[in-house]
Amino acid sequence: MNSLSFKSSKKIILLIILLFETLLGFAQDDSLKVYQTIRVRAYQSIVIGDSVYSFERDTVLEVPVDMEYSFDSLDVERTEQFLDSLKIKADQSRVGRQLYSWFFDRSNNKPAKVRDSRREEYWTAYEGKIIKDVEIIRLPPFGTSVDGYSRASVDRFEAWANKIHTLTRRHVVRNNLIVKKGEKVVAAKMYDSERLIRQLSFIKDARINLFPTQSEDSVSLQIVTKDQWAIIPVGSYGSTSRFDFGLRHGNIAGLGHRLTLEGVYRGDEPPNLGVDIEYEIVNIGGSFIRLEGDYESHADRELQGIRLEREFFSPLTKYAGGVGGRYELRRRALEIDTLGNRMDTEGTFADAWFGRAYKLSNEYNYRLITSVGFNRQNYTIRPAVEENLNYNYHNYDQYLANIGVSDRKFYVTSLVRGFGRTEDIPLGHLLQFTGGYENGEFEDRYYGAVTVASGQKNKKGGYYRAELNLGSFIDSARLDQGVINVELVHFSRLFRKGDWNFRYFINLNYLNGINRFESDSVILNRDVGLNNVRSRELFGKKRAVVEPEIVFFSPYQFYGFKIAFFGFWSVGTIAQNTSDSIFKSPRYHSLGFGLRTLNENLSINILELEIGYIPNDIPEQSKFSIRLSTSIPFEIKGFESRRPEIIPYR
């Protein structure tokens, strides 16, 4: 049977909802009714609202009535007693001490000391005062904290790594600040500066502190940054005849430049050895212009590309734009017959755009944004094309323009996409209209689109984001090759049981076409959310995917690699025609579990081991799968205006 029955699906949904509710039920916290004094032991973690705190010394807190807090003191005490007794036994031998430090050293795995919106109140107290001077304090990757805490000691390897690490240069940090010496303090700009530095790939965390001076109308600004270890191995493994290997330096000479050098081995296709080189400058001279260069030459692809771009990186950004171009030859990219024969594709691609933001009111976050853009696609080797065939390989010039209103804010938390580091989650709204004209290979036509997006945090700490994209070409007053795309994202508040933290996540994506060409289609597999499904045989015109997941963040680490366990259940459905009901189309399921690990002192992606089961019969797909990959799960888009482009149908 190709899909599970609707009744079976309902039972599974109900079981998962009951599981979530059961887990959440025993982890819920009692609300405080009055001010209460709380004693927190050293290194004991306490959850207040949606933030996690821990302290190196015994600490007394006063929690107001409108704030929630939790820790299971009995469970913590029992765990502490067990680990203390285990440590006494482990200390009796050198091997035991090493094993204990590997598996049960929790001092290096304390949840991040996270701030929330009340941090802005701290900066507001200094609002309007002049920044007299700027001090930059840079910390090495291991054994340090931007909150002023340092471990008593680091091991030999960490000490050696700190010694050879080149700290990010002060001018690089200064170039990524949007507040300058001599300006007045604006709390929103303080937060934006801290966020911009924190999101740099070579910086783990950042804090901006203000201190009074002898003059009542001025303050000193202190920015504290903690680097990430910059040199890491990169690569991928498919089989003994297909793998990549290399190194990435994420912060060359402390300048914020990133260089990736990879060797590419393809034992089954000539040339057997190739290279993949990427170079990136995040911010050229404080202009916030990013430079990216790519070069690939191996059995699968020849590519040369370069791009310069300045995004709307802050609500204060007035001007944005970019220009880029690339040449790409993809070898054996398309299957051309049932015998397995394949053909190459070759083409050149270019685009340019420019945008301007206008202040709508005295509110820091509200902006009216306009932009214009140009896209060109020119294939020289491609499959057969006709007016209604293989549009993705048509040659065209597109002239597009955007106008929209953006409201951008953020809130600070942790344990969402990371394992304890400070994370900035976007809040706000976006309403954007796109219009333009395509000078096509077979016909010329107009284009129109609208994007509506909103993201909010509820009182208990849960997060919701919704986005609707609707766009279509217009040919003789008829909608042509249109797209309807709906995205919903939700994650729960942070729950706690003992030393463990957990959240549940839900992603939903719906994609449908309007008067699509016969050759247009979308695919349903793991690339679009149906975990573990590698098959490329599930095609159609309309698609929906739901991805519930629960993640347990453990209190343990191995050589600085923190560990999280997760369970998932993905459901996808694909219809053969745009008019078919998505609820009556075949449903495909994937469920499983796995673990993720990450050392946040290193500039690497999350390493993920996933074990899955697929109950459906899918062509070219096994029932069970084990996958080892690097990933950044659960991407959350912001609410900045984007460059003008056609809404993709893929």
pLDDT digits (tens, 9 = 90+) for 72-110: 434 444 444 555 566 566 666 666 655 555 445 444 444
412 and 396 Cβ atoms separated by less than 8 Å: no
What pLDDT is attached to residue 158? 82
Domain residue spans of the chain: 73-104, 118-227, 300-631
Where on the phi/psi map is residue 459: left (φ > 0), alpha (ψ -120 to 50), or beta? Answer: alpha
pLDDT for 223 beyond 80? yes
pTM score, two decimals? 0.78
DSSP type of residue 646: P
* C-alpha distances in Å from residue 425, one per residue of 29, 117, 234, 357, 431: 23, 12, 28, 22, 19
pLDDT score of 38 more than 80: no
For position 427, what pLDDT does the model report? 93
Give yes or no for a contact between 432 and 403, defined as CB atoms under 8 angstroms apart: yes
291-322 confidence digits (pLDDT tens)? 999 999 999 999 999 999 999 999 889 999 99
- Give per-residue pLDDT as tens, 534-557: 888 888 999 999 999 999 999 888
276 contacts 290 by C-beta, under 8 angstroms: no
Where is pLDDT greater, at 469 or 360? Answer: 469
End-to-end CA gap in the chain: 27
pLDDT at residue number 107: 42
**Does pLDDT of 115 surpass 60?**
no
State the maximum Cα–Cα separation within the chain, in Å, rounded to a whole number. 84
Tokens of 81: 């007693």
* Run of H or E including 7: helix 6-27
Q: Residue 6: pLDDT above 50?
A: no
pLDDT greater than 60 at residue 280:
yes
Q: How confident is the model over 227-234, as a mean pLDDT?
A: 88
Written as six digits, the tokens of 445 are: 């036509």
Model confidence at 570: pLDDT above 70: yes
pLDDT higher than 60, residue 629: yes
Which residues are CB-contacts of 497 (< 8 A; sequence separation ≥ 6)?
A: 26, 27, 72, 75
Q: What is the pLDDT of residue 63?
A: 57
Q: How far apart are CA 3 and CA 617, in angstroms?
A: 8
Could you read off the pLDDT of 631-645 as tens digits, one per residue? 666 778 999 988 999
* Among 614, 595, 593, 597, CA closest to 606: 597
The Cα 317–Cα 307 span in angstroms is 20
State percent of the chain over pLDDT 90. Answer: 50
Q: Which one is predicted more confidently, 95 or 193?
A: 193
Fold of 300-631: Porin (2.40.160)
Please report which confidence band the pLDDT of residue 647 belongs to, taking 50, 70 and 90 as the band edges. very high
DSSP class per residue in 515-565 = S--TT--EE-SGGGT-TT---S--EESEEEEEEEEEEEEEEEEETTEEEEE
pLDDT score of 601 more than 90: no
Q: Check if CATH label 3.10.20.310 holds for domain 118-227.
A: yes
pLDDT at 61: 61
Which residue, chain included where needed, has tokens 């010039």? 397
Could you tell me which residue, 150 or 516, shows the higher pLDDT? Answer: 516
Within 8 A by CB and 6+ apart from 200, the residues are 176, 256, 282
Express each pLDDT in 236-259 by its tens digit. Answer: 777 888 889 999 999 999 999 999
Q: Where are the alpha helices (DSSP H) in 91-229?
A: 94-104, 118-124, 156-164, 170-175, 187-198
Q: What is the mean pLDDT of residues 319-345?
A: 88
- Is the pLDDT confidence value at 161 over 50? yes
Per DSSP, which regions of 268-318 are E strands? Answer: 273-281, 290-297, 301-310
